[in-house]
């Protein structure tokens, strides 16, 4: 069985990034989009990053154009958007797919480790997730990502400890995050 540290991903400029670099860190791994209804979550992600980065938090941001073509543009254009609009300090990695035959291997690992989304309490959030489940091409398949801004929390030992639905805002994640930083 693989560990998260066995994977390499591409940086936005096409270089290999060995995830073993993050041993001992807490990771929040997110598939994102710049033109999504959840895009304002970048603000909350940046707040978490600023508050907990010195305590070991790293955010791995993977733009994904797989859901409603909501992440158009090059890796550099996406990065510039995030910096200019949300003043992000964490870096965006290369654009990927998270579901299907072309899915990033890291995401197959994450989905196997945590196949179910944690959804916030509330009728609005549950209805939103139900609607997203009908929109996504692969959403009906067990474990597959339903939409952008699905988040995975990884502890300092590389264990995938939680998976959060897109409706689960960074502010709600903070309570769980405090257990690991």
Cβ atoms 82, 92 nearer than 8 A: yes
Considering the candidates 27, 29, 36, 82, report the single residue annotated as catalytic: 36
82 is catalytic: no
Buried b (16+ CB within 10 A) or exposed e, 22-55: beebbbbbbbbbbebebbebbebbbebbeebbee
Which helix (H) or strand (E) is 164 found in, with range? strand 160-164
Q: Which of 135, 108, 96 is nearest to 1 (CA)?
A: 108
Residues designated catalytic = 36
């Amino acid at each position: 069985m693989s560990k998260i540290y066995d994977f390499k991903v591409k940086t936005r400029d096409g270089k290999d990034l060995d995830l073993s670099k993050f041993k001992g860190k807490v990771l929040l791994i997110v598939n994102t989009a710049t033109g999504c209804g959840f895009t304002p979550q970048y603000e909350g992600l940046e707040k978490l990053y600023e508050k907990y980065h010195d305590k070991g938090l790293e955010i791995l941001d993977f733009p994904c154009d797989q859901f409603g073509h909501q992440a158009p543009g090059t890796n550099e254009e996406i990065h510039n958007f995030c910096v200019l609009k949300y003043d992000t300090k964490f870096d965006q990695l290369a654009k990927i797919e998270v579901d299907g035959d072309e899915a990033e291997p890291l995401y197959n690992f994450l989905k196997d480790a945590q196949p179910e989304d944690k959804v916030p309490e509330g009728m609005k959030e549950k209805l939103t997730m139900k609607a997203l489940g009908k929109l996504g091409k692969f959403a009906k398949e067990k474990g597959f990502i339903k939409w952008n801004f699905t988040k995975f929390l990884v502890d300092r030992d590389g264990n995938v400890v939680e998976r959060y639905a897109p409706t689960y805002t960074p502010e709600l994640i903070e309570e769980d995050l405090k257990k690991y930083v």
